[in-house]
Chains A and B, each alone.
Chain A
């Protein structure tokens, strides 16, 4: 079975490193606030804010602004679509890595299963 090129296309919106980092952190929690995302990704406030706006516009995250002790607190959570797309994106990356690590493209059918079988032998 050949791996068709379109099956390995990467989502450009998610593949950008900062956005992938944000979405990956969010995939392990129900929600996280702006400070936690800033700590874990190392992004500046402005950059994080811009990336979150893009992700919210694309429907991948939901942003909820509240007040905690009279201070604004921004909570961010993945939407079901966002959760699905980031998981799919990591799967794609792992498939690409498997393919690049094996000589399957030259002699085999190019599938990850074929690559795994080749490594096992």
Chain B
């Protein structure tokens, strides 16, 4: 019996419900397209309608997880760790994006993509603090971080750089989320060595 697998099931379930990252990533892409006033997104109400659709999709995803995989209440310690991870990585992302390249006086104004780098660092830090960085996290967010830190972004103005960063991070979030979901489904499968389906209830 794999004790670690059983004990980590709750932690995985809390942090790797990856389908939530699909509307989350789509929101980043929509924000970038809205900033560019692309197609119908030049109207504010279209963005608001899309946002409502994404919220509705998130509620549907929540219901899907609750009905197919159940509900849990995590321990106080785990809750505190999740809160620290969420607030910590959000603060880190904001600070990093402003520091690397922004219109703030104290910005280093480097020729990098601050938004993409900050989101990559933020997501990797969140995973490291909660469930550990899995191979697919490293494969998706690692290259994004490298690309974001290449000194090739100086030619684009700040708004365009930020919007490209949002699109890249949005696509990465969606891909990472789908793979998180796959990982979660596998980790919630009972271990083969248990084979408890017909376990004797006696004794």
Residue A40, interface by CB 8 Å: yes
Q: Which residues of B contact A32 (CB under 8 A)?
A: 10, 70-73
Q: Which residues of A contact B74 (CB under 8 A)?
A: 29-30
Q: Which residues of A contact B188 (CB under 8 A)?
A: 39-40
Evaluate whether A36 and B7 lie within 8 angstroms (CB atoms) in the complex, with A17-B194, A41-B196 already known: no
- Could you tell me if A17 and B10 are in contact, using CB atoms closer than 8 angstroms? no
Q: Which residue of B lies closest to A37 (CB)?
A: B70
CB–CB B69/A36 < 8 A: yes
Contact B194 A25 (CB under 8 A): no
Interface size class of B (residues with CB under 8 A): 20 to 34
Complex alpha-carbon distance, A20 and B3, angstroms: 9
Can you name the residue of chain A whose Cβ is closest to the Cβ of B73?
A30
A12 within 8 A of B: yes
Q: A30 touching B75 by the CB < 8 A rule?
A: yes
Q: Does B190 contact A (CB under 8 A)?
A: yes
Interface size class of A (residues with CB under 8 A): 35 or more
Is B6 touching A18 in the complex (CB atoms < 8 A)? no
Q: When chains A and B are docked, how far (Å) is the Cα of A34 from the Cα of B69? A: 9
Asked whether, in the complex, the Cβ of B194 is within 8 Å of the Cβ of A29, the reply is no
Contacts of B56 in A (CB 8 A): none
Are B198 and A28 neighbours in the complex by a CB distance under 8 Å?
Answer: no
Chain A residues near B71: list those with CB within 8 A: 32-33, 35-36, 68, 73, 75
- Can you list 20 contacts pairing A with B, beta carbon distance less than 8 Å? A16-B199, A25-B7, A25-B9, A28-B78, A29-B10, A29-B72, A29-B78, A30-B73, A30-B75, A32-B72, A35-B71, A39-B70, A40-B9, A42-B190, A43-B197, A47-B197, A47-B201, A68-B66, A73-B71, A90-B3
Which residues of A come within 8 Å of B, CB atoms? 12-13, 16-18, 20-21, 24-25, 27-44, 47, 50-51, 54, 68, 73, 75, 90
Other A-B pairs, 10, CB within 8 Å; known A31-B73, A40-B188, A54-B201: A25-B7, A28-B9, A29-B72, A30-B72, A33-B71, A36-B71, A41-B190, A41-B194, A42-B196, A47-B197
